[in-house]
Amino acid sequence: MSRETEAVLQLISQHEDQILTEWQQEAGAASTRITDANRRAMRGEAEDMLRALREALQAGGDPDQFQAAAWGSLRQVLEALSRSRAAQGQSAGDTSVFVLAFKRPVFKLIQQKFSSDGVHQMGIVWVVSALVDRMAQWTVATYQHTREEIIKRQQQDLLELSTPVIKLFEGVLAVPMIGTLDSSRTQIVMETLLEKIVETGSRLAIIDITGVPTVDTLVAQHLLKTVSAIRLMGAECIISGIRPQIAQTIVHLGIDLQGIASKSSLADALELAMAQQGFTVTRNK
């Protein structure tokens, strides 16, 4: 352990309460939304970080090697802090400002304790500044990764919500599709529909593409794969929503939909499905 690092360890060990109090005040002054609950949470976060920092320094952690095992506990505390704040809707800047606020009380102590040795004082300041900067950078990196995970999960949820499988009546399911049909969405549709076929024992599925803006070769291939998977499960499929423009495009692309029942509207597909299932509809006079 270097002389400067040892001095930092002594400062945070001997003046923990003072550092925590002034750190909280500095972070609170930089925050635009602070409540009593925020203050209590901030105090707990600061205590966890300071404890992990002290343990890392006691274990001989080199501030220049922040990826080393000695700093593992501190990195975990920073990651938990960043994830928690990201889930609360706070920005990466808010979290970074909180971590950087640690500098002020420590610099104040360094100035008081080592004013007689300017060279040593500057060495300690440099160690603290470099270390806290790395801590702040770690929270930003974790925040970005967490936000990416949240966005991916939300996108997955939206995909699932945008492709519901509806049971129309006994033995018949329907999947209304809206928007662009790509590989990931097709996979979700296929998995959800096949699971529903097994769950309900349905023998017929209607895939309605009225809300699909365009049909190209890729979209058609996705549809054919879905139909093939449905047939492997022992069920049949009707594609509805074949508008004149889509019909022309399919013919122009040379896509073979032979053997697959298709209708121009969902109402026509429903009528065909009822006929295939042996249902008849009569109007009361």
* Cα of 127 vs its chain's centroid, Å: 35
pTM to 2 decimal places: 0.53
* Cα of 156 vs its chain's centroid, Å: 9
Q: Which domains does the chain have, with CATH numbers?
A: 3-154 (1.10.490), 166-276 (3.30.750.24)
The pLDDT of residue 255 is 75
The pLDDT of residue 97 is 87
Phi, psi of 255 (to 5 degrees): -85, 130
Whole-Å CA distances, 72 to 21, 75, 102: 25, 5, 19
Separation between Cα atoms, residue 220 and residue 15, nearest integer Å: 69
Separation between Cα atoms, residue 108 and residue 106, nearest integer Å: 5
The pLDDT of residue 1 is 67
The DSSP 8-state label assigned to residue 212 in this structure reads: -
Average pLDDT per 10 consecutive residues for the chain, totaling 285 residues: 85 89 79 64 86 89 86 89 79 84 90 84 90 89 78 65 76 83 74 87 88 77 83 89 82 78 87 83 73
The pLDDT of residue 162 is 58
Residue 84: other Cβ atoms inside 10 A = 14
